[in-house]
Amino acid sequence: MNRFGFLPKACAFDFDGTLVDTMWGYARIAGESMQKHLGMPFEEGHRRYLETSGIPFFQQLELIRPDHPANPRCAEEFEARKLEGLFLSPPDQPTLDGLARLRAAGIRVVVSSNNFQELVEEYLRRYPALVVDLALGFDRQGLEKGRPHFLRLEQTFSLRTDQVLYCGDSLKDGERALAHGVPFVGRTGIFSRAQFRERFPGVETVDSILEFAEGVLSGAGG
C-alpha cells in the first residue's frame, strides 16, 4: 500500500501554484489591480486574492467586493497582466520528473485548472517538456474545476471516481475534490501543512510534485 492508501489510474493537478509557481506573482498583480480599481489597500487585496484562490478572478472579486461596479474593469486588467507572469514561469525539474514517473508507470496525468482553456493550451505549447494526457481549463461554457472537470476526466479515460487522485495548492481545491468524492493531496506553498490539516483533518500534503509521485508509486514497485 502506498502513502495515499491506493494506486490511482489518473492523477489530476491544479495548475497555478501546483504545477507552475505563478501564484505569488498573480497575487501581486491582483493587489495592484484592486488598489487601482476598487480603492483597496494593496496588502488587503494581496491577502484576499490568496484566501479566495482556486476560482476565476472575476468570481473572486464577487466574493471580495460583491457587485462593485469596477469589478469587470479590475478583472479585465488582471487577466491581461497575468500573461506577464504566466509565460515567464517555466515548470521546475522536480515537477517534470514527477509527472514523467507517473506517466512511465501508466498513470494518466491531467491538468485541472480554472485558467482559461486557451491559456493552459498555449502554456503547454510553449513548454513541451510538461507532458500531460489531458488539459482541462475554464472554457466559459460550464467546463471548470470541480465536478465538471472530474466528470470529463472520468468519461475520457473510462474511470471511476475512486480511481482518481487530485493534488492542489488551495483549500478550495480540496473542497471541490472532496465534494465529488475524489481523494485530495495538498501541495504546500500558499497554505502550510497545518492549514490544510486544520481544514481537512488527516489530509496528506507534499512539498513538490516529485514527492507526490514518489508517494503514489511507493507501493507499486516504482
Q: What is the pLDDT of residue 220?
A: 64
Distance (Å, whole) CA 48 – CA 46? 6
CATH of the domain at 133: 3.40.50.1000
Q: Report the chain's mean pLDDT, rounded to a whole number.
A: 94
Whether 15 and 27 share a structural domain = no
Point out the least confidently predicted range of 29-33, 87-91, 146-150.
Answer: 87-91
* Statement to judge: residues 96 and 173 lie in one domain: yes
Extract the runs of DSSP E, i.e. beta strands, from 1-122. Answer: 10-13, 108-116
pLDDT, residue 222, reads 42
Query: At residue 158, what are phi and psi to the nearest 5 degrees?
Result: 55, 50
Do 76 and 181 lie in one domain? The reply is no
Using 50, 70 and 90 to split pLDDT, how confident is the model at 115? confident
Largest CA distance in the chain: 56
Q: What is the mean pLDDT of residues 23-33?
A: 89
Q: Is residue 4 part of a domain?
A: no
User: Could you tell me if 204 and 178 lie in one domain?
Assistant: yes
Summarised one tens digit per residue, pLDDT across range 47-75 is 999 889 878 899 999 999 999 999 999 99
Condensed to tens digits (0 to 9), the pLDDT of residues 155-194 reads 999 999 999 999 999 999 999 999 999 999 999 998 999 9
20 confidence band (pLDDT: 50, 70, 90): very high
- Least-confidence region, from 75-84, 92-101, 208-217: 75-84
Alpha-carbon gap, residue 132 to 14, rounded angstroms: 12
Quote the number of domains for the chain. Answer: 2
Domain shared by 163 and 194, yes or no? yes
What's the domain range around 138?
10-21+90-217
